[in-house]
Amino acid sequence: MHDDRRLTEVRLDRFVRERIVPAVYPRSVPLTLSSWDVPDEPVPVMEALRQQFTPQEHGAAWGRPWSTKWLRLQGQVPDAWGTAVDTSVEVIVDLGFSGDLPGFQCEGIAWRPDGTIIKAISPRNQYIPLKLLGSGMAVDFYVEAAANPDLSQGWTFAATPYGDKATSGNEPKYRLGRIVIAELNQTVWELQQDIWTLTGLMHELPTELPRRHEILRALERMLDVMDPDDVPGTAAAGRGALAGVLARPAYASAHHLLATGHAHIDSAWLWPVRETIRKCARTFSNVVALMDEDPGFVFSCSSAQQLAWIKELYPELFGRIREKVKTGQFVPVGGMWVESDTNMPGGEAMARQFLEGKSFFLAEFGVECEEAWLPDTFGYSAAMPQIVKAAGSKWFLTQKISWNQVNRMPHHTFNWEGIDGTRVFTHFPPVDSYSSELSGRELAHAERNYRDHGRGTVSLVPFGYGDGGGGPTREMLAAARRTADLEGSPKVELGSAASFFAGAQAEYEALPVWVGEMYLELHRGTYTSQAKTKRGNRRSEHLLREAELWCATAAVRAGYVYPSAELKRLWRLVLLQQFHDILPGSSIAWVHQDAERNYAAVGRQLEAIIADAAGAVLGAGDTDFLLNAAPHERHGVPALAAAEPVPAGQPVLVSEAGGGYILDNGIIRAVLNADGLLESLIDHASGRDAIAPGQFGNLLELHRDTPNEWDAWDIDAFYRRNVVRLTGARSLTVESRGRDAVVVVERLAGSSAVTQRISLEAGAGSLAISTAVDWQESEKLLKLGFALDVRADRSASETQFGHVFRPTHLNTSWETAKFEICAHRWIHVAEPGYGVAVSNSSTYGHDVTRTIREDDGGTTTTVRLSLLRAPKFPDPAADRGRHELNVSIRPGANIADAVEEGYRTNLAPRVVKGAHGVEPLVAVSNPALVIEAVKLAEDGSGDVIVRVYESLGERSRGVVTAGFAVSGVHAVDLLERPAEAPGVTPAGDAAELVLRPFQLVTLRFVR
């Protein structure tokens, strides 16, 4: 037989395009339109409905970028429409959609005249059933149309002005399309779904399989039996021709896919937060409308913040969601406030993501999420397993690691082991998407790609349009039904994430184990982009620490009213901005402008709270007290206490040498040359120089930074091949600052002015470097490096509640791919007996390299911090402007010194006038056990909550003692519920701890 497959496939494509698609809606009549253009930002529905609507022309241009147009649609359904058995009436609204992805262009939401939501209008979901209008045969409703510009631009990553209202212009971006009352032919629509499913499956089957040819010939028979001039009249016959191949059951060994509806809505990205709120309303209204039609449809919703917005701004819709939660169709998942970044948030912030998220879901729906759900976050911290378990959850899901540039994860279902030994059951969907359409291509890929065949038989597939929202469609549900048991396809079952995890865990017992971080081999630039957003996050985290500590202290010591509601509000705002496209710096200018304003407001409000609490606890007076919020003693003031500071150490001695300066405080000695480069850094205890011979510390380097794609996200390894070493200084001066000394260096980085203040304090074991930059570069990367005379085969980087080790060598492709790494407040490199710590106040991106010196055979380990970038997309002015970045370097440091230095760099001394000092609420006998948070309990009982972790990576003992009257102490989880905690023994007003490396414990002291 001649091979005519291609001819038949071409015939089929044309028949679908020219005959079936038009026959889905064979009859239509236009609606009468009127409109009102919102002058600026969106308004509530009832305000819009009060406006004067004027006649609106069909096909007219509309929508300057980010504007909103309200349309009123009116008309009458023609007699006898929708009365036939297989027909119904719908309204079709095309706002000018393109064929591109939904969520990245104009969108709309339909409203009844009484101000209740009907459903959304989007590029692949343009219909509104007449029955939802509730007005008989008359049509009268409104559409809130959002003219969101398409910033994706085909993912060319070209600079665009549309990310900022100030530069986006006033030209209309869209033109109204077809807006009609139409009669839906259900049989033709069903035939269209049959063809789509079978065609997709056919193209994925090997040509040597009989099944592929069987499907093709069935499709050919369908074409033969149908009349192209009477598609509605012959559609039933066409379906009959396909019934046989659709009825063939799947192979007994077919992979099982648990499909859960989803809409990964980015809480901000190529749109501002204000638009995300409307995207949530659109998507969730679509979801509940689909649930009304299909009781078997289950939808997973992962962000408490998004549902909190709906509760506040769309209460009627929230009530409908609550009812669907009760039926098990609308399922909260993840248990986090937002799908946050996990690389950069501090330990306490990561804990609060779960505390706030899970508490919201419990309070509003009575649902406890048992899975962490982070499909799109840019890599996963090695501390996450412990935090997930401490929050009372037991499963973890991600998908993003499929984006790795070099290495593939070896498993899709496995146990993930964190830094403290905690393991969490983890799944990585082999469909490689969190926005599946349930197409034949995607289903086949999931089955082929699954790496655990023979041990596991099931994987998860989240389906529904995501990123910009939209969610599942009725077409996707139709595909799921047809592939539930279909020969050649995996078996698709609709269900919840929890049902997947329970089934997968039950069948797959001898799980493989992945130890440590899940590093994303992509998007490494997110550790650095939008430096002001990162600085705001770091500052806010530490201000929240101080505010809670001093408010709790004042409440216990002085009867102060603990501002729990205000602190919760501020925490939630900071948590929102840790979303994985805000904190990483990968959003449009509008988003980061909002973030900077929010951080400024958070700072003002927390400073006021701290001042108020300090006044309550110290009393009125003129004595200077140091409020030491750090977990270590400072200037003679105990940790977590307030007392008069004691001057430490001898004054700094300053001397000139070779045009530069030598600074010496009796603890360390720093030599700066005439260009302000650090030639030598000796700690007197060891007498050893931390700086490699003939090399420098405090060396700024300017690199070309032109990623292949994903500008704000990526740093590609070839950036290292183009570098300008900024060795020259324009000026070098020295200042005396009491007992301290400061060397001021002026230099240029490209065309950007740089001022460095290199300071040594009396009694300090570290040299501090403040780099102020008026950054005016484009597509450049600014690094600050320290060439250290240390043979380090690994570096230690702080992460949540501990640190992670990474090799400095490049033995394998996995190590080579980690050419840019994330650290929190410090990074440490060492050889046995000697190490150096480098801390920072707001920098996350680092790299650590090693070379062997030819002259003496020694090893130079170079630690560099990524200070600033200047990507063009999605914010063409990213990072331009003034920045101040603070770094310290501590020679002769061990890990404990690094931990202390991290807090010292991030918690500036706070001196407040008062009448008397204050003892700490709690004290710990071993500094290896670090108190990360002190706060009052969430339940308003007044009990004191203390979060403590083992910081050195070794087994540590200690006692945490209350400095106030307590009736008992016990361990709790992150939601402050009683929990088992190995190594915790209550002892009256104290807890005796024997903690494994990096173990996290939360204690509740009952007042």
Catalytic residues: 376
- Asked whether the beta carbons of 558 and 528 are under 8 A apart, the reply is no
Which amino acid is residue 818, in one-letter code? Answer: K
- Omega within 30 of 0 (cis) for the link into 30: no
Determine how β-strand 395-397 pairs with β-strand 371-373: parallel
Tokens linked to 296? 């078997």
The answer for residues whose C-beta is within 8 angstroms of residue 726's C-beta and 6 or more apart is 699, 700, 701, 702, 747, 748, 749, 754
**Structure tokens that stand for 790 in this block:** 């240390």
Rounded distance between C-alpha atoms, residue 834 and residue 817, angstroms: 28
Asked if residue 272 lies in contact with residue 256, where contact means CB atoms within 8 angstroms, the answer is no
Residues in Cβ contact with 931 at an 8 Å cutoff, skipping those fewer than 6 apart: 631, 639, 640, 922, 924, 946, 947, 948, 960
Provide the 3-class DSSP secondary structure of residue 919: coil
Residue 555 burial (C-beta neighbours within 10 Å; 0-12, 13-18, 19+): buried
Q: What are the DSSP E strand ranges found in 115-159? A: 117-121, 127-129, 138-146
d(CA 494, CA 436): 13
Burial class (CB in 10 A: 0-12, 13-18, 19+), 294: middle
Q: Which residues pair with 72 in a beta bridge?
A: 34, 142
Residues 6+ apart with CB under 8 A from 823: 797, 798, 799, 840, 844, 846
Residue 146, SS3?
strand
CA 124 to chain CA centroid, Å, is 27
Q: Which of 247, 199, 241, 244 is nearest to 224 (CA)?
A: 241
Of 492, 452, 102, 434, residue with least CA distance to 300: 434
Query: What are the two backbone dihedrals, phi and then psi, of residue 335, each rounded to the nearest 5 degrees?
Result: 70, 20
Instruction: Collect all residues with Cβ–Cβ distance below 8 Å to 854 and sequence separation of at least 6.
Output: none
Cα→Cα distances 794→147, 323, 416, 815, Å = 51, 53, 22, 11
The number of residues in the chain equals 1007
> Are the C-beta atoms of residues 867 and 531 closer than 8 Å to each other?
yes
Which stretches of 294-429 are DSSP H helices?
304-313, 315-327, 347-365, 384-390
For 957, other C-beta atoms within 10 Å of its C-beta total 14
What gap in Å lies between CA 988 and CA 990, rounded to an integer?
Answer: 5
Dig out the tokens for 470 from the structure. Answer: 């939209």
CA nearest neighbour of 886 among 910, 908, 862: 908
| End-to-end Cα spacing for the chain | 87
Q: How is residue 48 annotated by DSSP? A: H
